[in-house]
């Protein structure tokens, strides 16, 4: 049931026509909401909207769907999966009260875990809009989410990395060299994940076989993923390819996901197919999702919502399928949606907070495009803040420059910096492997071996060329 919202200050009355409008006006400024025409018309209106939003009962989000239930399967998922028992301890709170409860010292990681199934994405988005950056960091750090496939991701005082060895022509030797480079810097425990330059089933299978060969050869406790469309991965599985994780970019509305070429049934089919392979050794979280503020707007599928609320709704889709990894590619879509370093940093902290609050193993691609008003110093700031906030994983790319996707992100060196400065380690299984392979003499303190470890130098030239992958060794 939709209603209008009023807020009186002195003799002036502010009117918001719906909860969706109130949420949008309360959102910290960003270029995407300006493009969509939903941004607050002044800083004063933004503050008033935040004050009015703080007074909204959490129960209202169960009564007023921001996207109609009858029109959107994501809304139906959110409402139908809501756990009233988990919601009960916070059901009496307003959005402002909820913020105070989250920040309280008595609200422990255990209490947060108990209520997460009762928190809807819209509740998480709403409370984030009235929180400072330090609030987002503090609460996210208290949210503990652990997932497993061939290693354990998300434990306290750990920061995992996706080793991203993309190549503009999918050259197998170039990809293999980047994988080796990343491993020698202690990266790759979240996943070795490749964005294919040529996106088809045959090429995805070649890349899967390359990564599987490396993982099996060196007995690496990690997992691989080709970031191809979910329907391609289903075909790869049908053809017997070595699929570890199923990837898909997801959005927060049914129309967004339709523009991506899938629905919830497609994801369920893919999850079931991957589970049947039983390739995990310590767990069975087989899905990998990527999101990003602005995707619904760029697809003209945002239903008049602000982009951060749409982003939080995507986390309901992710949560349904128990993923190993979820990350927001925070600055990838461009300055039309997040204009500069300040907006990218704020969005990254919001996304991470909302994802962790909803129970997701949340990582972040700390990134920007070359035409954004941002630079690597902004990314250093966001990386450090996310590390303090308990981020599950970040990207690791040679030199921080993705030469295939043409954007700037975090390098192998950046991940080492964050681990050293913040006292973080890799996943425990991967850390033991780094020590066993003599890549790091003291993995817990991220002390790199200064020479090529014997396990690699002795075997690189001994490996024969593989006719399936086309990789030449030596």
Residue 87 has pLDDT above 70, yes or no: yes
* 420-426, long-range: CB < 8 A, 24+ apart: 420/445, 420/446, 421/384, 421/387, 422/159, 422/384, 422/387, 422/388, 423/157, 424/157, 424/158, 424/159, 424/387, 425/157, 425/158, 425/159, 426/158, 426/159, 426/160, 426/161, 426/186, 426/189
How far, in whole angstroms, is CA 461 from its chain's centroid? 37
Span 220-253, pLDDT tens digits: 999 999 999 999 999 999 999 999 999 999 999 9
Asked if residue 352 has pLDDT above 90, the reply is yes
* Alpha-carbon span 175 to 193, nearest angstrom: 11
Q: What's the pLDDT at 442?
A: 75
**pLDDT over 50 at 130, yes or no:** yes
**pLDDT value, residue 131:** 98
Average per-residue pLDDT for the chain = 94
Instruction: Report the pLDDT averaged over residues 60-78.
Output: 97
For residue 436, pLDDT over 80 is answered with yes
Whether residue 470 is predicted with pLDDT greater than 50 in this model: the reply is yes
Cα(9)–Cα(170) distance, integer angstroms: 60
User: Which residue bears the tokens 């994983």?
Assistant: 393
- Reply yes or no on whether the pLDDT at 260 is more than 70: yes
Q: Is the pLDDT of residue 459 over 90?
A: no
8 A C-beta contact, residue 418 and residue 383: yes
pLDDT at 452: 83
Residues in the chain: 474
Around Cβ 103, how many Cβ atoms within 10 Å? 14
pLDDT over 90, % of the chain = 88
The span from the CA of 319 to the CA of 297, in Å, is 22
Q: For residue 349, what are the contacts with CB-CB under 8 A and spacing of at least 6?
A: 133, 136, 137, 140, 382, 385, 386, 389
Other Cβ atoms within 10 Å of 55 Cβ, number: 12
Give the global pTM: 0.95
Phi, psi of 352 (to 5 degrees): -60, -45
Residue 452 φ then ψ, to 5°: -60, 120
Strands (E), 74-151: 147-148
Handedness of CA 370, 376, 378, 381 (dihedral sign): positive
- Residue partners of 419: CB distance under 8 A and separation at least 6: 159, 186, 425, 426, 446
φ and ψ at residue 157, rounded to 5 degrees = 65, 30
Indicate whether 467 pLDDT > 50.
no
Average pLDDT over residues 286-299: 96
The yes-or-no verdict on residue 41 having pLDDT over 90 is yes
Q: How high is the pLDDT of residue 458?
A: 67
**Residue 68: pLDDT band by 50, 70, 90 thresholds?**
very high
The alpha carbon of 254 is separated from its chain's Cα centroid by a whole number of angstroms, namely 19
| Model confidence pLDDT, tens digit, residues 354-386 | 999 999 999 999 999 999 999 999 999 999 999
- Average pLDDT estimate for 135-151: 98
- At 469 the pLDDT is 56
> Which of residues 471 and 26 earns the better pLDDT score?
26
């Amino acid at each position: 049931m939709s209603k209008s919202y009023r807020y009186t200050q002195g003799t002036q009355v502010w009117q918001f026509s719906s909860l969706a409008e109130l949420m949008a006006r309360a959102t910290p400024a960003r270029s995407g909401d300006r493009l969509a025409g939903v941004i607050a018309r002044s800083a004063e209106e933004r503050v008033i909207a935040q004050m009015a939003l703080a007074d909204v009962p959490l129960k209202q989000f169960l009564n007023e769907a921001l996207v109609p239930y009858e029109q959107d399967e994501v809304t139906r998922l959110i409402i139908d999966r809501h756990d009233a028992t988990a919601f009960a301890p916070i059901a009496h709170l307003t959005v402002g009260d909820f913020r105070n409860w989250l920040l309280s010292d008595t609200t422990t990681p255990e209490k947060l875990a108990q209520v997460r199934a009762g928190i809807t994405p819209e509740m998480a988005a709403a409370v984030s809009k009235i929180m400072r950056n330090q609030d987002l960091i503090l609460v996210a750090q208290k949210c503990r989410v652990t997932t497993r496939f061939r290693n354990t991701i998300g434990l306290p005082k750990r920061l995992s990395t996706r080793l991203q060895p993309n190549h503009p022509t999918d050259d197998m030797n170039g990809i293999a060299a980047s994988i080796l480079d990343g491993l020698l810097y202690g990266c790759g425990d979240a996943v070795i994940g490749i964005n294919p330059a040529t996106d088809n089933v045959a090429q995805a299978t070649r890349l899967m076989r390359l990564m599987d060969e490396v993982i099996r050869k060196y007995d690496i406790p990690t997992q691989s993923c080709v970031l191809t469309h979910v329907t391609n991965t289903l075909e790869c599985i049908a053809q017997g390819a070595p699929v570890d994780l199923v990837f898909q970019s997801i959005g927060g509305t049914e129309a967004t996901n339709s523009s991506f070429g899938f629905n919830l049934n497609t994801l369920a089919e893919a999850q079931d197919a991957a589970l049947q392979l039983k390739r995990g050794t310590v767990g069975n979280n087989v899905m990998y999702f990527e999101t990003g503020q602005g995707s619904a707007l760029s697809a003209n599928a945002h239903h008049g919502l602000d982009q951060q609320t749409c982003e939080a709704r995507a986390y309901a889709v992710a949560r349904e399928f128990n993923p190993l990894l979820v990350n927001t590619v925070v600055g990838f879509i461009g300055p039309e949606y997040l204009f500069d370093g300040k907006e990218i940093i704020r969005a990254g902290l919001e996304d991470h907070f909302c994802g962790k609050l909803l129970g997701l193993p949340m990582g972040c691609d700390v990134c920007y495009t070359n035409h954004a008003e941002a630079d690597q110093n902004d990314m250093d700031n966001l990386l450090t803040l996310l590390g303090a906030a308990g981020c599950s994983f970040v990207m690791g790319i040679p030199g921080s420059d993705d030469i295939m996707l043409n954007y700037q992100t975090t390098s192998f060196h950046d991940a080492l910096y964050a681990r050293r400065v913040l006292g973080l380690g890799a996943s425990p299984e991967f850390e033991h492997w780094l020590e066993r392979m003599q890549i790091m003499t003291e993995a817990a303190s991220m002390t790199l071996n200064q020479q090529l470890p014997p396990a690699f130098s002795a075997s690189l030239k001994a490996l024969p060329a593989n006719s399936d992958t086309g990789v030449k060794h030596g």
